[in-house]
Amino acid sequence: MRSVGVEEELLLVDAVSGEPQALSTAVLAMAERRAEGECAFESELHRQQLEFATRPQTDMHELADEIIRRRAEAAGHAANLGAAVVALATSPLPVSPSIGTGERYQWLEQRFGLTVQEQLTCGCHVHVSVESDEEGVGVLDRLRPWLSVLLALSANSPFWQSQDSGYHSYRSRVWDRWPSAGPVDVFGSADRYHKEIRALLDTEVLRDEGMIYFDARLSHRYPTVEVRVTDVCLDPTVTVLVATLIRALVDTAALEWRAGKPPAAFRTALLRMAAWRASRSGLADRLLHPLTMHPEPADAVARALLAHVRDALEESSDLKAADDALGSLLTTGNGACVQRGLMQRTGSLRDTVKECVRRTRG
């Protein structure tokens, strides 16, 4: 069974006001002192962020336990500094982002200017093991049409600098300002994939391979396919659902690749339309169906994803859990719906953030 690892980026906020706080250095120092073995937490581009990574897991129940445990550890470290962590993909409250002090972060700020300042966004990255780069590229080529559906499921960033953005995932709109971000064409082979990466690096626009910000890519650190398209999810059960569906998509795509089934020939321009539609309305309206690229009700498209990977979910004994979790998500709405509902009930973005702090731990 393929292993799965999850990386979540969390916002550090004041425990009382809910405003983002530049405390990552202090929180990391505390986490490193208390770590038993290798520390699971890392810094990110902005000092108002904290990232953790799970161990590779094959059992989704164990993955869920670790995500909840890491969130609780992060919350405990932050609490010692009068802060809290919250799984929101953008800050609802005003913030002046503070860039990290590392040489890499300083280079990014100097090279990309305001784009870097505006990148205080939190994503969720899911790694799924593959046997080789050839298998990995075969998977990437066949994942392409389904990535926008994952974005809609995870969308959790409706607010930006105290305003309703009009989007379910405004994070994805901000993230796409990077020159290497977004969907990509079919590669066809590992050799062509690596030649494309080399060509991008040879432009000297990007610093290194870590700046290949495709929606899904071969990891440059691990033998995995890394899906990067999703917002960090407010509810950890949605994180686990997304990770479960991604592993099943990888399994399904790998079987198609081995059988010689060609990937869908949709051009990248169409995939950008699908991603925009998913970011705009999430699960609340229509999405472009990955098999046709025609608009259909979001719940039907989400169910089509489940049907597409049903055999893989049955093989891993995850079908019932995924079906139940998806049904619950379609009923309650994604994180963007939850945030807007809280704002409507309380009339306060501060109270919205406080409630999301509570929900982050699950």
161 Rama sector, left if φ>0, alpha if ψ -120 to 50, beta otherwise: left
Q: pLDDT value at position 240?
A: 98
- The residue among 96, 78, 121, 95 whose CA lies nearest residue 19 is 95
Neighbour count for residue 116 (Cβ, 10 Å): 21
Domain assignment present for residue 272? The answer is yes
Tell me the three-class secondary structure of the chain, residue by residue: CCCEEEEEEEEEEECCCCCECCCHHHHHHHHHHHCCCCCCEECCCECCEEEEECCCECCHHHHHHHHHHHHHHHHHHHHCCCEEEECCCCCCCCCCCCECCCHHHHHHHHHHCHHHHCCCCCEEEEEEECCCHHHHHHHHHHHHHHHHHHHHHHCCECEECCEECCCCEHHHHHHCCCCCCECCCCCCCHHHHHHHHHHHHHCCCCCCHHHCCECEEECCCCCEEEEEEEECCCCHHHHHHHHHHHHHHHHHHHHHHHCCCCCCCCCHHHHHHHHHHHHHHCCCCEEECCCCCCEEEHHHHHHHHHHHCHHHHHHCCCHHHHHHHHHHHHHHCCHHHHHHHHHHHHCCHHHHHHHHHHHHCC
Domain assignment present for residue 61? The answer is yes
CA distance 341 to 358: 15
CA distance 187 to 243: 24
Domain assignment present for residue 352? The answer is no
Domain assignment present for residue 357? The answer is no
Cβ partners under 8 Å of residue 72, min gap 6: 361
CA distance 108 to 53: 23
Domain assignment present for residue 274? The answer is yes
Domain count, the chain: 1
Q: pLDDT value at position 217?
A: 98
Cβ partners under 8 Å of residue 255, min gap 6: 312
CATH number at residue 270: 3.30.590.20
Domain assignment present for residue 280? The answer is yes
Domain assignment present for residue 162? The answer is yes
CA distance 217 to 200: 14
Domain assignment present for residue 360? The answer is no
Provide the residue-wise pLDDT of the chain in tens; the chain has 362 residues.
999 999 999 999 999 999 999 999 999 998 988 877 788 999 899 999 999 999 999 999 999 999 999 999 999 999 999 999 999 999 999 999 999 988 999 999 999 999 998 899 999 999 999 999 999 999 999 999 999 999 999 999 999 999 999 999 999 999 999 999 999 999 999 999 999 999 999 999 999 999 999 999 999 999 999 999 999 999 999 999 999 999 999 999 999 999 999 999 999 999 999 999 999 999 999 999 999 999 999 999 999 999 999 999 999 999 999 999 999 999 999 999 999 999 999 999 999 999 999 999 87
User: What pTM value is reported for the model?
Assistant: 0.97
- State the residue range of the domain holding 169: 4-343
